[in-house]
Amino acid sequence: MRQAIQRVVADAGTPEHIQIAVGSWLRDHGVHDGWNDAQYAARMAAWVQVELTDLLQLFHMPQHLGAGLFGSAVYSMMGATEMAAALSSMVLADVTAWDDCSPDLELPPDQFETRLVELAMPILALADAMQIDLIEATRRKLTVTATTGWRD
Q: Which residue did the predictor score with more confidence, 8 or 109? A: 109
- Among residues 118, 115, 114, the alpha carbon closest in space to that of 56 is found at 115
Q: Report the alpha-carbon distance of residue 63 to residue 1 in Å, rounded.
A: 58
Query: What's the total number of domains in the chain?
Result: 1
Within 10 angstroms of residue 92's Cβ, the number of other Cβ atoms is 14
Strand-pair partners of 103: 59
For 13-133, where are the alpha helices, taking DSSP H only? 15-28, 37-56, 63-77, 81-93, 109-129
Q: Would you say residue 21 lies in a domain?
A: yes
Q: Would you say residue 82 lies in a domain?
A: no
pLDDT in tens, 43-66: 998 898 889 888 888 888 777 666
Q: Would you say residue 39 lies in a domain?
A: yes
CATH code for the domain of 108: 1.10.287
Domain that holds residue 13: 2-58+104-148
Q: Would you say residue 13 lies in a domain?
A: yes
Q: Which residue did the predictor score with more confidence, 38 or 76? A: 38
pLDDT in tens, 95-129: 777 788 888 989 998 899 899 989 999 999 999 88
Q: Would you say residue 113 lies in a domain?
A: yes
Q: Would you say residue 90 lies in a domain?
A: no
Q: Would you say residue 91 lies in a domain?
A: no
Q: Would you say residue 45 lies in a domain?
A: yes
